[in-house]
Amino acid sequence: MFNEDRSAEKQTSWWPIYIALRDAIVSHRLTPGTKLPEDELASIYAVSRTVVRSALQALTHDRLARLQPNRGTFISSPSKAEAREVFEARILIEPKVAAIAAETAKKSDIAKLRKHMHVEHEAVSSGDASQAIAASAQFHIEIAEIANHTVLTDFVRELVSNSSLVVALYWKRRETTCESHAHETLVEAIANGDGSRAADLMKRHLEDVLSGMDLGPTERKQDRLADILRLR
C-alpha cells in the first residue's frame, strides 16, 4: 500500500510479512488489541517464527504493535491522550508538507493525486470501508512524497499509520474519515501552486478529522459510597 524508501529492509525475508500486517492494520482488517501469535503467522506465511518475529519487531518499532511480556504481541490500542497527540502532531507537520508540495508538484504529481482520488471515490461508492480508509491514508502520504522532504515524509508515514489505530478506536461519525471534497480542494490548491492555501486547507481538514473523534473523558458510573465502603 505505502511506498517506502527503506531499501535495505526491503531485501529482508521479513519485509513482505511486515507490509502485509501493516496494510491490514491501516485498512482496519486487523483491529486494535488483536493478538499476533508467532506460530500462527508463521503457518499463514509459510516462514519461520524467526522471520515473523522480525516483522513483529518492525511493527513494534513503528508503534503499530506492542509486546506484552509473557503474553505476546498485540496490535496497539492507543489511549485517548495518545490519540490526540497523534493528530496534534499531524496538524503541526502536514500543513507545512502540503505547502512544500504546492511549490514542487509537477503535472504528473497532480495527475497521480487525481487518479488516487478516483480510487478513493470508487471505494466509498462501493461501500468498501477498508479500501476507502486505506486510500485516504495513502493520499496524505502521496502529498508528503511530492514534497520530497525525507524527514517530514517519514514522520507523515508513521503518523498516518498510527492514525488508523486511532480511527478504529475513537471515530464517532458515520462517514469515512476524510471527506472527498476536502481532498479535492486540497489537490486544487496544490495544482495551483498556492502553498499558503494548501497549508490552511490541510490544517482545517485535520482539525475536522480530529473533531470527529470521541476523545473526551470517559464517563464512569460512580458506585454509592455506602456500597464502596460497606463493611464485609
The class level of CATH for 14-77 reads mainly alpha
- Report the pLDDT averaged over residues 9-38: 90
Q: Which residue has the higher pLDDT, 142 or 130?
A: 142
Distance between CA atoms of 199 and 52, rounded to whole angstroms?
A: 40
Distance between CA atoms of 29 and 133, rounded to whole angstroms?
A: 10
* Among 77, 16, 11, CA closest to 52: 16
- Report the pLDDT averaged over residues 12-28: 92
pLDDT confidence of 180, banded at 50, 70, 90? low
Q: Does residue 92 register a pLDDT over 90?
A: yes
Q: Which residue has the higher pLDDT, 88 or 129?
A: 88
pLDDT confidence of 222, banded at 50, 70, 90? low
Q: What is the CATH number of domain 80-212?
A: 1.20.120.530
Q: Across the chain, what does the average pLDDT equal? A: 87
Q: Please give the pLDDT value at position 11.
A: 72
Domain ranges, ordered by start, for the chain: 14-77, 80-212
